[in-house]
Structure 1
Amino acid sequence: MSAETTTAATLIEQIRAELAPIEEQLAGHGFVTALAAGDVPSSALEQFAGEQHWIISSDRRSFAHLAARYADEPGGDLFLTLAQGEGVALGHLRDFARWLRIDPDVLTSTAPTPGAHAYTAYVSWLALNGSATDVAAAFLANLAAWGTNCGRAAQALRSNYGADDDAVAFFDFFATPAPGFEDQALAVIDHGLRRGDSPSRALSAARLLQAYELMFWDAMSAAAAEA
């Protein structure tokens, strides 16, 4: 797979085919299934909120750094949009915390668990070391799985836990892809490939990010089991 003969569309098609087994595990993950059955205790939901505060806050800074790294390239606008989106998500997360009767200002006191924190640690690594192609490809492959699980979580919280629209706005926000995101990401990838970015490195970035996504949900299942 060489940059000279690979397009963004063919690269993403290959990535999605390779990641299909992990995608399948994410789509039927036990934590979301337990949530749909009303079997996740409030303490595990509180842990989820705390973990997400660490993740979203860190990812926001990572995307801002990427926007600065690629300010004069197509990736700059994409990463700035993603950073702004994380800011919106943080506001919605505070509403979720209030519904859980947690003071949003103490979310930072939640100790992150290694399995849940691995995802955002790798995003930070990508912000420092990854190409724009690596990041755009990894998130284009990853966000669909995250969005699907957020949509299922929102439905479960409404139907089984009595959550209102404000409480689940965090999940609703991620459940619907941002308009134009895929086209914008593909344009960034095409630009990078024409410049010589490695398709193999982008594939590795996507594979690792998706694996860390699975680790996050596994950590949430462990928190629910221990509650």
Structure 2
Amino acid sequence: MAARLNYRSIAMSHFRQEFIRFAIEREVLCFGEFKTKAGRLSPYFFNAGLFNDGESLKQLTQFYAQAILFSNIPFDMLYGPAYKGIPLVAGTAIALAEMERNVPYCFNRKETKDHGEGGATVGAKLQGRVLIIDDVITAGTSVRESIALIRAAGATPCGVVIALDRMEIGQQTGRDSDGLSAAQEVQQNYGIPVAAIASLDDLLFYLRGNAAMMQNLQAVQAYRDRYGIGKD
């Protein structure tokens, strides 16, 4: 049993490092000085919208599918919040089908349609346990709206899967230490798990082992030390 758990841990670590490498190579994860929504100056920036061609979207959603399977979150269908969640949820459904897990999916409209098929969503009917697919969690607005829409349809939100967990103190705590991250706030407020393909700690691990990226390590570590959640 211990050997199987160790193998699983190694496999998870490997695919997280592969994701970080992939995101940097695509310049989706880049380094410099960037102002976040919280007004903090971050030494790195992640923009999932730059996975903007067929090959990169295919690879990205394969990472999502792996993260979902590693998470062991029980679910019946996928949901993607507009707009970034639309290609993510469709691509992830395809990737899961290629892994022999065929599940329905849907996404929302920004404005409810009152003609044709009508309704607030497109795709499969919201029912059962619904897993939300998004890029990141910042203020949690997208997740909050998604949960409300899913519950209004009579379905059950069962979890959230994101690309990168920044592991920063969230906005509800209002302080820069001893608080919860945005992902942890979602878990606490709604009682559902949040899984990520990779985290800020995975990024730091990657930087430590990559000589060409060492110049970014000090700034990212300092940011982690100042704004990051505790290392349990």
TM-score (norm 1): 0.29
TM-score (norm 2): 0.28
**Structure (1 or 2) with the greater strand fraction:** 2
